[in-house]
Amino acid sequence: MKKNAAAEKDAQLFQHMQQALLYHQFLLRDQVRNQLFYEALRRTVTSETRVLDIGSGSGVWAIAAAKLGARSVTAIESNPSMIPMIMAHAAENGVADRVEIINGFSRDINLKYKYDVIVSETIGNQAFEEDIIGTMVDARERFLAPDGAMIPQKVALMAAPAHLVSETETPVGVPVTTNYLKNLSINFTGRLAVKEDLEMLRSPAKLLEVDLRECEADQSLSGLSAEWEIDDRSRANVIALSAESELVDGVILDTMKTLTWMPVVCRFRPFESGPGRLIFGLSVDEKQYHWTVRSGEEAQQAYSPMFAYTKIKLDSQRAPRPRRARRR
């Protein structure tokens, strides 16, 4: 039994390691991401700088800071399988003597230094879902030196009306309708791997911008809204959510222009054709999105995963009980 448990644990670790390695290799192929974060470090790191890298991953920012001449660097990473990678990368870049590596979560760790630069790439596809606010506020209050820099210093959740061109009726190739499933699925957001499938109808608007240098950890994501005038309301079938981040003054990361981050779409039923105003409302509760869309005199549309859950639950209660098979 113990042998089987150990083998199962080892198999899980192997699978997790594979996923982590492939993911970080994918991140390092993102030229826009790489150049913007490197430029932010280049503008803030000097020979007197102590740098703290939170969520270090493959260690690239910690190592870049050391190569830019930082006095010392501390890299914090929660995934134990990434620690040997950071160590190896630091050694092969000749900066192992100036990069301290800690396995754990930054909120659970006490450090002996105050840091002149704190960098963290925990920006989510939807800006805030990787807890960048809580992570950076805690780091700011406990680890940031007076007049220190935070990378990023601002993060914003963006929204824009769009036409998702890849939407098709399902099931494909079978003369069967599945509108019940379609009507339930519209209540869930979805990450879009292929940005080219989005035809943007208007420029993004900021639903919420947070200045990490001065905000409180408890930020409300309720009652967010934006509106746009569009030429043809019937073309809009999703609101595309993305993130925009000011890494340092003048260095702006727009996740719609990167390889790594994927936009998240909130679907809705198109309105009648013609020009008009589109009004979008969003509230986030325990990482679930609840959104509304309205235009002109047409009825407001409302969506939430809870609506799909409630529908399934009620229909399950009304469904006939399955008949038991007769014994022969």
DSSP codes, 214-246? T--S-----SEEEEEEES-GGG--EEEEEEEEE
* Range in 35-49, 159-173, 191-205, 253-267 with the lowest mean pLDDT: 159-173
Of 208, 272, 192, nearest in space to 236 by CA: 272
Which pLDDT belongs to residue 326? 61
CA distance 252 to 257: 11
Find the radius of gyration of the CA atoms of the chain.
24
Of 121, 152, 124, 185, nearest in space to 44 by CA: 152
What is the average pLDDT across 124-136? 93
Of 45, 160, 66, 53, nearest in space to 102 by CA: 53
Confidence tier at 3 by pLDDT (50, 70, 90): low
Confidence tier at 19 by pLDDT (50, 70, 90): confident
Looking at the DSSP assignment, which residues form a beta bridge with residue 75?
53, 101
Of 264, 256, 308, 313, nearest in space to 287 by CA: 264
Tell me how far the alpha carbon of residue 93 is from its chain's centroid.
30
CA distance 159 to 205: 5
CA quadruple 17, 18, 22, 23: dihedral sign? negative
Residue 28's SS3 state is helix
Residue 18 has pLDDT above 90, yes or no: no
Other CB atoms within 10 A of residue 48 CB: 9
Counting residues of the chain whose pLDDT is more than 90, the rounded percentage is 75
Evaluate whether 71 touches 92 at the Cβ level (below 8 Å).
no
Looking at the DSSP assignment, which residues form a beta bridge with residue 142?
none
DSSP per-residue codes, 99-124? EEEEES-GGG---SS-EEEEEE---B
Residue 290 has pLDDT above 90, yes or no: yes
Confidence tier at 286 by pLDDT (50, 70, 90): low
Other CB atoms within 10 A of residue 82 CB: 22
Element holding 132 (H helix, E strand): helix 132-143
What is the rounded average pLDDT for all residues in the chain?
91
Of 304, 307, 308, nearest in space to 285 by CA: 304
Counting residues of the chain whose pLDDT is more than 70, the rounded percentage is 94
Residue 200 has pLDDT above 90, yes or no: yes
Burial 180-201 (b: 16+ CB within 10 A, else e): eeeebebbebeebeebebbeeb
Residue 1 has pLDDT above 60, yes or no: no
Residue 238 has pLDDT above 60, yes or no: yes
pLDDT tens for 80-106 read 889 999 999 999 999 999 999 999 999
Which pLDDT belongs to residue 23? 74
Residue 22 has pLDDT above 90, yes or no: no
Confidence tier at 325 by pLDDT (50, 70, 90): low
What is the average pLDDT across 171-199? 90
39 exposure class (CB count in 10 Å sphere: 0-12, 13-18, 19+): middle
pLDDT tens for 42-84 read 999 999 999 999 999 999 999 999 999 999 999 999 998 899 9
Confidence tier at 323 by pLDDT (50, 70, 90): low
Confidence tier at 232 by pLDDT (50, 70, 90): very high
Residue 177 has pLDDT above 90, yes or no: no
Which pLDDT belongs to residue 287? 63
Which pLDDT belongs to residue 318? 82
The pTM of this model reads 0.89
